[in-house]
Amino acid sequence: MAATTDQIETTAHSRQDPLDGTAIRADFPVLNGPTGDRPRLVFLDSAASSQKPQVVIDALTDYYERYNANIHRGVYQISELATERFEEARRKVARFLNARSPRECIFVRNATEALNLVAQSWGRANIAAGDLIVFSTMEHHSNIVPWQILAEEKGASLGHIRIDAAGRLDQEHFDELLAREPKLVAVTHVSNSLGTVNPLKEMIARAHAAGAIVVIDGAQSAPHLAIDVQDLDCDFLAISGHKMCGPMGAGVLYGKRSLLDAMPPFLGGGSMIRKVELERSTWADVPAKFEAGTPAVGDAIALGVAIDYLTDLGMDRIWEHEREIVAYALNRLREIPNVTIFGPQEAGERSGVVSFAVGEVHPHDVAAILDEGNVAVRAGHHCTQPLMRALDVVATTRASFYLYNDREDVDRLIEGIYRVNGVFGDTTSRTGTGGPCREKWDARTFEDDAP
C-alpha cells in the first residue's frame, strides 16, 4: 500500500556535492525495474518527459486512495483535505518560482495550455491589427502556433529572431526587431532542441524598454535551474510538471497579478465565476478566474511533491551536475569523426540537451539501434520545424540528461553510436534517408515533444 500523504516526505539526500546520479536513480522505480535480457535502461529523453521518483508516485496514489474529492466545494473532511493539499501545492510553486503571491500561479495541464491561455486571453484583448509579435526561430511549436493563430485573427505581423551559426539567438537582430516596437515578445528560456540557454534577464529588460510584454517558455528551464520570476521581471512564464519529475496533467502559468486581473477568462464554466445570471456573469478573482471546471487535483498535489524533491536536492546542484554530464558527453561525442553536434559547443552555454547527427544515418535509425541496447533517445524534429530548416536538416537525434544520469549513461550512448556505425558504416554526409530500420519507423510519429 502506498504511504499516506501525511507520511510522505521527500527523500533526505545527505549527499555531498556533486550529485550522484547513480544513487539518485534508486528513487525512480522505472530506472530500476526488470529489463529481461536487456541491460539497465539508460533514459536520455527527459527533455520530452522526465521519470518520476517514488515519492511523487506515492503522492498521486495516496490522493486517489485516501482523499479523492473535488475541491473548493465540499464541506466534508476529505474535500477540505484535498482543497488544502491543492492550494499547498500552489504555494510550493510560488516559492519555487519566487512569485510575489500564489495567486500569480495558475494551474493548467502543461506549458502548451499556459501559452495558449496568454494568447487567447491577453492576446485577444490587447493585440490589434498592425501590431508586431516577436518570437525566435528556436521556439517549440507551442510558442509559435498560438501567436500565428492570434496574428491571423487580429491582422498582426510576426517577427522571428534569427539564430547564429553557434545556435544562439542573434542579439543584434533582436534589437532590430525591438526597434519596430513589438507589442509582445515570446521566447524560450532554454531550447528543447539545442540546449541553448538564452540571456533572458537582459532580453526582457530590452523588450520592456521597447514597450513589449514578455512571455517565457520555461518548460526546459524549470526542471534544471533555479528560476526567479521577480529577478527576471518576465510578465508570463509557462512550465510543465511532467518535465520536472511531476505527473502528466499538471502545468503552471505564472503571470504578473496586474496583467492577470485585467485579462478576460480563458474558459467559461464552474469555479471561475463570482455570480451567474441568465443574461450575464461576473468572474472570480485570480487564480480561480482561469481554472474553470474540475482541475487535475491529484496531479497538482503530486507536482508539489516533485517540487519538494527537486528543492531537497537543490536546483543549483542539479544544474552543476548536468553541466558536468553534458561536458563529458560533448567530449565523448567528439571522439566519433562522423558525429555532428548542433548548438553551442561549450557545456557552459547549454542545458543537458545534446542534438546530433551520425553521418548520413537517419535519426530514427540511430534511435532504433540505440534502443536495442536499452538506451532511450528522441529522434525527429522535436516540434521545432523552423529550427530544423535553419539548421538545414530534417531531424536530429537528441540525448537529454537529467539528475538521474551519470557518466556510465554517456558511455552507453557512445557504445550505441559505435554500433550504429557498425551497421551503416562510417558515413560522413547528413543527407541520407536511412537504411534497414526505415520501414519500421516511417509509419509512426516521433515529433511530439509537447511541453
Query: What positions carry a catalytic annotation?
Result: 383
Taking only Cα atoms into account, the Rg of the chain, rounded to an integer number of angstroms, comes to: 22
Phi and psi torsions of 28, nearest 5°: -115, 105
Instruction: Give strand pairing partners of 237.
Output: 216, 254
* Rounded Cα–Cα distance for residues 344 and 329 (Å): 13
Residue 375's closest CA among 26, 43, 29?
Answer: 43
* Rounded Cα–Cα distance for residues 148 and 127 (Å): 12
For the chain, the maximum distance between any two Cα atoms, rounded to a whole number of angstroms, is 71
